[in-house]
Structure 1
Amino acid sequence: MKSISWTIVGMLLCGFSLEAQTNKKMDSLQVAYEASTDITERVELLRDMFNMQLYMEPGEAKNIALKILDISQKENYANGIALGNYGLGNYHLITNTPDSANYFLKKSAEISLKNNFGNTLANSISGQASIKGDRGDYMGAIKLNDSLLPLYQKLGNYLNYGIALGNTARFYNNMGQYDRAMEGYIAALAVLDTIDEEPFRRADIQRDIGKLNYFQGNYEKSIEYFRQALAIYEETSDNLYQSYVLNDLGNAYVEMEDLDKGLEAYQKSRRISEEFNYLDNTANVLANVGMVYRQKGDLDQALEYQFNALKINRTNNSSDNVVSVLGEIGKTYMEKNDIPTALRYLNESIALADSIKTGYYLLNGLNYRAKAYEKNGQFEKALEDQKKYQALNDSLFNTEKSKQIENLNTYYETEQKEAEIALQQEEINTLNEKAKVDRLTKGLYAGGMFSFIAVSGLLFFGFRQRMKKNRIAREKQEEIYRQEIAHKKKELASQTLHLVQKNTFIQELKENLENIKSSPEKFKTEFRRIVMLLRKENASDKDWEVFKTYFAEVHNDFDQKLKTLYPDISEKEIRLAAFLRMNLTTKEIAATLNVLPDSILKSKYRLKKKLDLDKDTDLITFLNTL
């Protein structure tokens, strides 16, 4: 017991020590600022104070940026005006007001370009690249960001060079190009590991690697990186990102179905967010906690957290989050079997989502409301919402696929141009080498023709080998692109076929319902037909067979490998293994197979036994090796 008490005291003292050091440094900077009369020195001191406060006390950082702007405008000091605008842009970036951020960053860039302020110009462009990325223009963000690399090298600013590498990796990650993203993250860490300044930048990269693993379903690995990032954020008193990464940790634990650890991480994130008034993150965490309590079956507690999240989002004018939380409140009331209240919140969520054109939240609302109508016996309305859901889902799917194909084509064209430039450079190098050979020939001629021929032959062989190597590398890269595009086309074909089958089913269901409506005396007969139709659709293996065909092509005959290794494995077990191989969660698999999550957990346990895996071997990790 004593050792535990001392550990807690040690942690508290460490926290107080860090805060005391920060306050002491801020006080000394303030004293120096008040004593100074030189505008250049005063702006530099305020800039240092801004950097210290930005992630700890954003509101205070904003006031400092305004002060930089004020004193610089009075003295007509261009460098300070550029820095003040850049500071305000940064403040709006981290407080999620991108339009304001873009306004101030553009202003800063214009002043910096006019006055040749290299660092401030580069940093302002970097901020604008981040905004492009947040809006989904990843290739635009990458081009803008990559244009900064030679500028940072020229300035000798290797900290920002490493940050820029990490930002480009983040954009590739968002595009789903995980290999390029990981290469970029590793390159960024290689630079940042050599720099003592701003260690939280390393933590940002570690958090990004954690998120990459999270979205690929490698939850244990993601937790490892999130914890490394958290340690640095704690060491540097970076309160904002502590709250973010604790929320990330909570998400990973919940996906692993460790709800208690998930709640613990969420509550830590909430305490920090509330203390420093990070409203967006506070609301997000409260909503996440509400969903966990709903999973646990404590619906009243879930509603309490969800209503608190809704209140903050309404105050903060965060429309997307208001739509999302309204939908989740509606779903919770539906699980309480309070359908009228559920419909009230779902109607509000859908109306708002439609007005602000946020497709994915509208999709969720329609899905939840269709289930609420179905639960309430309002089958016509349920069918109407299901049709709207299907039409919107199809539209969003096509838009997303078009965007992915467009990004892929842009990426392919960029790589082709780079390959052409590399080839031209190689030809230039070849000509230069040839010129060297010509000069060498004159020197060697007196020494004998044999030496000349030997040297020329070796050089020519070297040139040919280098050209051949470049050609092979380029052909390999082009083949990868062709395979990626072919894979996307297969996905699209599979989804289209699935949609046709579902639409046929919905049409049959609609006709049966119309028969009941026009001839009530046929109710019993038609009702039995509807029940049989639903059973047939649930029991149908058509979708599975189509899915299995494409899955086998993409994952190298996964089902055949399983059958070869385990001849007694059943078709249902292969289906479960395929879904696990795709990193679907237990909840998602249960919804797909129309069974309870507990049933999936038992099936996973039985599958692990069937595959003869020991207790320490992770089932999903094993399936990923096949």
Structure 2
Amino acid sequence: MNSFKKNSLFFFLFFFFSGSMQSQESKIDSLKRELQIHKVKDTTRVRVLTKLAFSYQRTDPEKALEYIEEIYRISETINFEKGKAQAFYLRGIVQVSLSNYEEALLYFNKSKKIYKALGMKEGELRCYDAIGVVFYYQGNYRESIKSYEKEIKINEEIGKTKVNYSLLSKIGSSYSELGDYERAIVFYEKALGDATSPEARSICFNHIGTLYCDLGNYPVALENYTQSLMICEKIKDTLQISKSLNNIAIIYNKYENYDKAIEYYERSLKIEEKINNKYGISRVLNNIGVVCKSRGDNKKAIEYYEKSLKIGREVNDKNQISNCLLNLGDMSLILSNNTRALQYYEEAKKINIEMESQRGLCSSIFGIANTYVNQKKYDLALINALKSKELSDKLGIINFKRDTYELLSEIYENTGSYKKAFVSHKQFKILDDSLFNKENINKIAQLEYEYKYKGQLESANNRELKLTQTVKSTSKDLVKSQRVLFLGVIISLLITIILGAIIFFLKLRNIKSKTQNSIIEQKLLRSQMTPHFIFNSLSVLQGMILNKEEGKSINYLSKFSKLLRITLENSRDKMVSLSQELMAIENYLALQNLENELYKYTVLVDGTMNTELFKIPPMLIQPFIENAIEHGFENQKEDREIDVHLNYINKKLICTISDNGIGVDAKKENKNPYKKSLATTITSERLGVLSKDLKMEGSVVIEDRQKYNKQGTIVTLVIPYKIQEQE
């Protein structure tokens, strides 16, 4: 079992203590000079000493303690109670960095008591925050949440209604350890939304990556861990670099890239040893043991587990102790030492009950059941296997459920309950297939993730250039090659559509709520240039080439490729300028009308609007224009009109798309019922999501103009937007 204790909560103490200390390292020399100048033992010297102590608490704890001792002596001499509280608080921080959690709690509580007596709410807040962190490290997640809730209550008392991102993230971590993933992701997403500094965003990406790693969504986990590593390397945060390296190594181990995993673990271990972080050293040693086990090197795996367990016991890190015990239990089973395995699992079970860690408890009970099966004690095995099944069902983790059903099948078969054995085995196969499909989908998602950063726009431009050159060269001998070319284009297009549909269908079934917005955007991108439209465009182009209208065909191809390029450019960004979107719409309408000028269209913008300043989500308007063209003019060959009008009224960006066709009500009454456009449906869903993301109204209303004594259909879009500040 991997150690998933990857949360960087201690890092939050750094920010919560003082926002002005983010650049503290560059000010150390200045503080030392100030200290040399100011020899008087007063509150000013205490203030300078406090900043210096905090600067050294991670890099040189001994030096930090020297400054803290002087803070306390001066404060006691001049009867400066606030200085005493600061000294106790700083001592607590140093003890946390040294993994001495009980001493840390003692000092934080002393500090809190003084701050409370002084009526200093800000000081109380810091202490409750620090106490919550220590409880978390000790595996006491319920108490950790209680401390954070007290912190929220004090914030409300002093009028701070907005909860700090660090506090949100820490509450999410505690819920994650308790197996309440739904609450955890809510708090993590809120934290990321409130995080503004690079350090804060790095931590939030790590948290979100950890949650998805626990849920088995490795591509999304790796993406978040990589984001975190890029940020912390840029700002040279050593501790966070170590945590990110460790997390990425875990993902590589999942992908069975063991050399890469070891490489990242060793880089992380080197950093942890340099700063003497026993907590981090224990975690990395345990994870290296996991890789050794995966490679089949059982002897080395046990050595690393035992080293990790020893350090975990020294610092009383219950979570890490549990992980090591479970791993040693698994190794004992592999080596057929059932008695030893049972001892490890029972001790792990006891610790996980104390911590209320449902995931760890499930693993412990499953290990006990497995051991009893090896000892042929099937009655005891069945009791524990059923408990494991109950917990795994509650947690909803597929691999836990799969392994439990497989074990139940074996138990029932050996006790003669063949019907139950058959049912359990059937459930095992269903879950195994589901896990297999999920792994395949994760691999596909990973390939998409890797491709995303390889230059989509450059590739599109290259394809456009090649297509133009192909048309010019093949026009000289079109009679012989036109059928081959046409069939080749159609086959390529069909293959692309089929493959895209398969990948999209798999992702749609398995993706989590985290990626809901991107799913809708990908749907819209695929539906934006429909196969029907592309087919018609290519048919028109073929007709021009057959009629030897070379100039006209090149003009048509240029407009068609330009529209494709604009569509791709707009789809890469979450927000584009209104002017870009209008350019795409006008190109689309012009291309539809190029051959026979079947439509009269207008695109009007309120004269008071600056379309360069408005930023809107791309590809919201075009699907409704396409719907009007395809469905609005049935049996109407002349006087076809489409009008697009944009207004900015009462801080709402309103777009109306109207036509003079048969009207939506008439379509509904037709014998062939009106089929709602896929693009229209997706755009409606997308508006709902964008409204929440941008915290702004977004809606769509489709009406028959008959109610206004006119002919046709009118679509009213309220578009969420941002206004870009003028430079």
Distance 1:168 1:245 in 2: 20
Instruction: Report the more deviating stretch, 97-106 or 218-227.
Output: 97-106
What secondary structure, in the 3-state scheme, does the structure 1 residue paired with 2:48 have? helix
Partner of 1:261: 260
Match of 1:75 among 54, 74, 78: 78
Query: Counterpart of 1:593?
Result: none
> 1:511-542, CA deviations, whole angstroms, 9 ceiling, x for partnerless residues?
xxxxxxxxxxxxxxxxxxx5xx56x6554368
Q: Which residue pairs with 2:381 in the alignment?
A: 386
Q: Is the 8 A contact 1:289 1:305 kept in 2?
A: yes
Deviation, 1:49, is 1.8
Contact 2:46/2:71 (<8 A) preserved: yes
Q: CA deviation at 1:47?
A: 1.9
Structure 1 contact 163–188 (Cα < 8 Å) conserved: no
Give the one of 34, 51, 54 matched to 1:51. Answer: 54
Higher relative helix content: 1
1:331 aligns to 2:330 (yes or no): yes
Measured against aligned partners, the alpha-carbon deviations of 1:403-457 in whole angstroms (never above 9, x if no partner) come to xxxxxxxxxxxxxxxxxxxxxxxxxxxxxxxxxxxxxxxxxxxxxxxxxxxxxxx
Residues 287 and 31 of structure 1: is their aligned pair in 2 closer, same or farther, counting only changes over 3 Å?
same
2: distance between equivalents of 1:300 and 1:242?
Answer: 30
Q: Name the CA distance, whole Å, in 2 between partners of 1:253 and 1:504.
A: 32
User: Which residue identity is paired with 1:243?
Assistant: S
1:299 partnered with 2:294: no
Match of residue 119 from structure 2: 116
Pairing of 1:450-489 with structure 2 (within 5 A): none
* 1:62 to partner: Cα distance: 4.6
- What letter matches 2:381 in structure 1? Q
Letter in 1 for 2:376: F
Matched, 1:135 2:140: yes
Decide whether the 8 Å contact of 1:86 with 1:104 is kept in 2. yes
Change (3 A) 1:230 1:53: farther
Structure 2 CA distance for partners of 1:392 and 1:98, relative to 1, 3 Å: farther
* SS, match of residue 540 in structure 1: helix
Aligned to 1:186: 192
Would the alpha carbon gap of residues 584 and 51 (structure 1) be closer, same or farther in structure 2, given more than 3 Å must change? farther
Query: What is the rounded CA distance, in whole Å, between the counterparts of 2:110 and 2:269 in structure 1?
Result: 35
Distance 2:424 2:391 in 1: 26
Matches within 5 A, 1:100-499: 100-130=103-133, 135-137=140-142, 140-141=146-147, 143-150=149-156, 161-168=164-171, 170=173, 175-176=180-181, 177-178=183-184, 180-189=186-195, 192-193=196-197, 199-318=198-317, 321-335=320-334, 338-339=335-336, 342-343=337-338, 345-350=340-345, 352-353=347-348, 358=353, 364=363, 367-368=366-367, 371=370, 378-380=375-377, 383=378, 386-387=381-382, 389-390=384-385, 393=388
Shift of 1:132: 6.1
TM-score by length of 2: 0.49
Other structure's SS at 2:141 match = coil
Match of 2:90 in 1: 87
Question: Match for 2:308: what amino acid?
Answer: A
Letter paired with 1:220: P
Query: Which residue in 1 is equivalent to 2:433?
Result: 576
Residue pair 1:55, 1:238 contacting (<8 A) in 2 also: no
Which residue identity does 1:48 align to in structure 2?
A: K
- Give how far 1:261 is off: 2.6
CA offset at residue 331 of structure 1? 2.8
Residue 203 of structure 1 contacts residue 229 of structure 1 at CA under 8 Å; is this kept in 2?
yes
Cα 1:183–1:306 shift into 2, 3 Å: closer
The TM-score, its normalising length taken from structure 1, stands at 0.55
The answer to whether the 8 A contact 1:165-1:187 is kept is no
Q: Where does residue 623 of structure 1 map in the other structure?
A: 509
Uncovered stretches (5+) of structure 1, i.e. residues with no partner: 1-20, 194-198, 402-487, 511-529, 548-571, 587-608
1:619 Cα shift? 8.8
Q: 1:540 to 1:117 in 2, by over 3 A?
A: closer
The structure 1 residue matched to 2:68, chosen from 42, 65, 85, is 65
> Matches of 1:615 and 1:279 in 2, distance apart?
50
**Alignment length (residue pairs):** 422
CA distance in 1, matches of 2:64, 2:505: 48
1:107-148 deviation digits (Å, cap 9, x = unpaired): 222222322334323222333444566633376355324334
The alpha-carbon deviation at position 270 of structure 1 amounts to 0.9
The 1:79–1:239 alpha-carbon spacing in structure 2 relative to 1, beyond 3 Å, is same
Q: Could you tell me which amino acid in structure 2 is paired with residue 301 of structure 1?
A: K
Q: Distance in 1 between matches of 2:205 and 2:158?
A: 22
Give unpaired runs (5+ residues) of structure 2.
Answer: 1-22, 444-494, 512-518, 520-727
Q: In structure 2, what is the Cα distance between the partners aligned to 1:259 and 1:235?
A: 27
Alignment of 1:559-570 (within 5 A): none
Q: What amino acid maps onto 2:274 in structure 1?
A: E
Counterpart Cα distance in 2 of 1:542 and 1:508: 10
Instruction: Report the RMSD for the aligned CA atoms in angstroms.
Output: 4.6
**Could you tell me how far 1:42 is from its partner in structure 2?**
1.9
| Aligned-residue offset at 1:305 | 2.3
Distance in 2 between the 1:297 and 1:256 partners?
16
- Corresponding position of 2:717: none
C-alpha change, 1:613 and 1:298, in structure 2 (3 Å) is farther
Percent identity over the alignment is 21
Higher deviation after alignment, 121-130 or 293-302: 121-130
Structure with higher Rg: it is: 2
1:78 Cα shift? Answer: 1.0
The answer to whether the Cα contact below 8 Å between 2:165 and 2:192 also exists between their aligned partners in 1 is no
Shift in Å, 1:81? 0.8
Q: 1:295, CA displacement in angstroms?
A: 1.1
Distance 1:106 1:269, change over 3 A: same
For the structure 1 residues 124 and 253, does the alpha-carbon distance in structure 2 shift closer, same or farther, using more than 3 Å as the test? Answer: same
Give the Cα–Cα distance (whole angstroms) in 1 for the partners of residues 293 and 234 of structure 2: 35
* Contact 2:100–2:315 (Cα < 8 Å) also in 1: no
Residues in 2 aligned to 1:150 and 1:94: alpha-carbon distance in whole angstroms: 30
Of 516, 530, 540, 2:423 maps to 540
SS at 2:59's partner residue?
Answer: coil
Query: Aligned equivalents of 1:347 and 1:578: distance in 2?
Result: 28
**How much does 1:392 deviate?**
5.4
When residues 29 and 171 of structure 1 are mapped into structure 2, their CA distance, relative to the original with a 3 A threshold, is same
Using the TM superposition, give the Cα deviation of residue 80 of structure 1 relative to its aligned residue in structure 2, in angstroms: 0.8
- Alpha-carbon contact 1:367-1:385 (below 8 Å) kept: no
Give 1:82 shift: 1.3
How far apart are the structure 1 equivalents of 2:289 and 2:504? 29
Say whether residues 1:30 and 2:37 are aligned partners.
no
What is the CA–CA distance in structure 1 between the aligned matches of 2:293 and 2:70, rounded to whole Å? 47
**Residues 283, 313 of structure 1: 8 Å contact kept:** yes
Structure-2 change in CA distance of 1:153 and 1:620 (3 Å):
farther
